[in-house]
Amino acid sequence: MPNKVTVIGAGLAGSEAALTLAENGVDVTLIDCKPGKLGPANVNTDFCELVCSNSLKSTDECTAHGLLKAELRMLGSKVLEEAEKSAVPAGSALAVDRNMFARRVTQRLKNCIGDIRCELAGEADDGYTIIATGPLTLPPMDVFISENFGRLHFYDAEAPIVSAESIDMSKAFFAARYGKGDDTDYLNCPMDREEYESFYNALINAERADAHEFEKGEIFEGCMPVEVMAARGKDALRFGPMKPVGLTDPVTGKRAYAVLQLRKENAAGDMYNLVGFQTNLKFGEQKRVFGIIPALKNAEYMRYGVMHRNSYIDAPSSIDRFFRSKRNEKLMIAGQLSGVEGYVESIASGKMAAIHTLRMLEGKEPMPLPETTVMGALSAYISTPNPEFQPMNANYGLLPPLKELPRDKRMRKEAYGRRSLEDMKKYTESYLWK
């Protein structure tokens, strides 16, 4: 019986897959271009790098992402475990110190995998292989994926980061929306109507960075640049990332007209991320336009927002619900390349690819996860024929409806969560792994 698997790519999905396999006694070869070469969005030579601190979203089990994390804990997610050990305060969200997180995962990989290679892989071998090279896959692997799976493209955008000391704290206040979490988790930058309208008009008329020809295409809803969202209407931001509901300005005792929330980027709290402000504005325009927000008038930018190309395969036509190639069941693909959108979703895909591979190594057919779970629903989504296929985040809309639907919104979500975790428990009891 074979007991060797090659994992190509040491991002979130690849790290989860490699750790799951190795800690279950599989002989793993892990291949990644780091530290010899960094990809277009990389700045850290460690594996499992995140581009922003709050990439792992909510921990509330009444949200789809919170439920997904609960499922991953039941399955013993290695990467989620390290993320929780690297957490920084962020209310009901899981934000991490990115450098600490990457360092912890990298060390764990080195502790249990003896064969880690710094290479630019260009193909898969004849044995079991999981490709998890990410949405910015470098040549020559991108050619191999295109030839074997086919690819599409969409934009991704990152929010700016400012230094804490450059924020005008007299124009901001600490509070979590609706009082969820520690009151120091979020720094809120309020605006009155006149200030907001001035900011809005500057934003929609600001100059954007040129996109390379290969980057021009449809913008994916999950990473909408703030200027594109604003162009949908004057109040689009006030009902989106700048919604003031659930926040009371302690200076006025009232709700502001619009509020930009800032979130700690690291454990030291000396950098803040502009929440929901992914952007493709030119750097000078970012400083000018965002400087209209009173608290950011003199902000110092540690990183400007950027936009880059992301890629994903046409999953329904090329892989099954076990993330296996329809041409070669020993070849699997995981992470955002597979059509799951989001970092926690990528971890989940790496976990699923690994546990399915464990079954195949035993000479058994993989067991599908229940579609009543978020993980099972995601794997069903990416493998279901869809002529307009796009990457998908975790959401309740993927789950089959409840037999009895409570009228109260939170009660409905709690019911979805109970059903999911009950079914996941049955699944784990039917096949155990570490």
Q: Tell me the mean pLDDT in the region 108-115.
A: 96
Question: Of 52 and 269, which is predicted with more confidence?
Answer: 269
Helix/strand/coil for 214: helix
Give pLDDT, residue 229: 93
Give pLDDT, residue 182: 62
pTM of the entire structure?
0.73
Retrieve residue 406's tokens: 């409570």
Are 48 and 86 in contact by the 8 Å Cβ rule? The answer is no
**Helical (H) or strand (E) element with 262:** strand 258-264
Give pLDDT, residue 151: 67
Residue tagged 């979490």 (tokens): 181
Q: Tell me the mean pLDDT in the region 162-180.
A: 88
Give pLDDT, residue 432: 58
Give pLDDT, residue 201: 97
Are 230 and 200 in contact by the 8 Å Cβ rule? The answer is yes
Beta strands in 9-135 (DSSP E): 27-32, 87-88, 95-96, 115-118, 128-131
The CA R_g of the chain, rounded to the nearest whole Å, is: 22
Distance between CA atoms of 237 and 244, rounded to whole angstroms?
10
- Asked whether the predicted pLDDT for residue 179 surpasses 50, the reply is yes
Question: Of 187 and 221, which is predicted with more confidence?
Answer: 187
Retrieve residue 96's tokens: 């991490």
- Asked whether the predicted pLDDT for residue 116 surpasses 90, the reply is yes
213 Cα distance to chain centroid? 25
Distance between CA atoms of 80 and 72, rounded to whole angstroms?
8
Give pLDDT, residue 380: 94
Closest CA to 160 of 18, 1, 290: 290
**pLDDT > 90 in the chain, percent:** 59
Which domains, from first to last, does the chain contain? 4-150+314-430 (3.50.50.60), 158-308 (2.40.30.260)
Q: Tell me the mean pLDDT in the region 344-359.
A: 97
pLDDT tens by residue, 11-62: 999 999 999 999 999 999 999 988 877 766 667 889 999 876 556 888 888 8
- Chain mean pLDDT for the chain: 88
Question: Of 152 and 427, which is predicted with more confidence?
Answer: 427
pLDDT tens by residue, 355-393: 999 999 999 999 999 999 999 999 999 999 987 787 888
Provide the CB-side half-sphere exposure for 345 (13 A, CA): 24
Closest CA to 307 of 136, 160, 155: 155
- Asked whether the predicted pLDDT for residue 263 surpasses 50, the reply is yes
pLDDT tens by residue, 215-261: 445 555 567 889 999 999 999 999 999 999 989 888 889 999 999 99
Residue tagged 């124009």 (tokens): 171
> Residue 433 to residues 23, 76, 146: CA-CA distances in angstroms?
9, 8, 33
**pLDDT > 70 in the chain, percent:** 90
Q: Tell me the mean pLDDT in the region 209-213.
A: 60
Give pLDDT, residue 434: 45
Give pLDDT, residue 25: 95
